[in-house]
Amino acid sequence: MRVNELSEKLSITPDTVRYYTRIGLLSPRKSLENGYKNYSPDDEKRLVFILKARNLGFSVSEVQEIIAVSETGASPCCKVREMVFKHLEETNAKIEALQRLHSHMKQATERWETMPDSMPDGDSVCDLIEMWDAVDLNHAV
């Protein structure tokens, strides 16, 4: 099947198929008759795997690494578990940082609701932010 057929079948853009082909994750055969790239059922299966891995948060380089291990005949599952555990730790850290930011923003807006707006002067842009940093610098994210 050609690029457009494969992309339609998997509900992705033709550029996505071309990208994974360009970086070597897909290996279509080139038609001698017309020069078009023809994708096999194995290419389709590979692309489905790539899309699933990307949806699970794996980077392109991680997908390349997983496929490279698989192509040696070894199971990449141990490596995949390590990657997922690392992603979970990173995601948890990001969630905690976002929760702290949310709390900080909520505290700021609650305090700011009762404060008057002030005009900028030569020393100030927005008193709300400048006051917050000066008063609560040790609570900054």
Q: Is residue 140 within 8 Å of residue 107, measured between CB atoms? A: no
Regarding whether 66 and 48 lie in a shared domain, the answer is yes
Please name the residue that has the structure tokens 């790539």.
50
Question: Can you give the pLDDT at residue 134?
Answer: 43
Regarding whether 70 and 12 lie in a shared domain, the answer is yes
Q: Could you read off the pLDDT tens digit of each residue along the chain, which spans 141 residues?
A: 999 999 999 999 999 999 999 999 999 999 888 888 999 999 999 999 999 999 999 999 999 999 999 999 999 999 999 999 999 999 999 999 999 989 888 888 887 787 777 776 767 666 677 776 544 444 444
Q: Is residue 37 within 8 Å of residue 29, measured between CB atoms? A: yes
Regarding whether 110 and 50 lie in a shared domain, the answer is no
Regarding whether 105 and 49 lie in a shared domain, the answer is no
Q: Which domain holds residue 110?
A: 81-139
Find the length of the chain.
141
Reported pTM: 0.73
Q: How distant, in Å, are the alpha carbons of 44, 74, 89, 93, 124 from that of 132?
A: 55, 56, 31, 25, 13
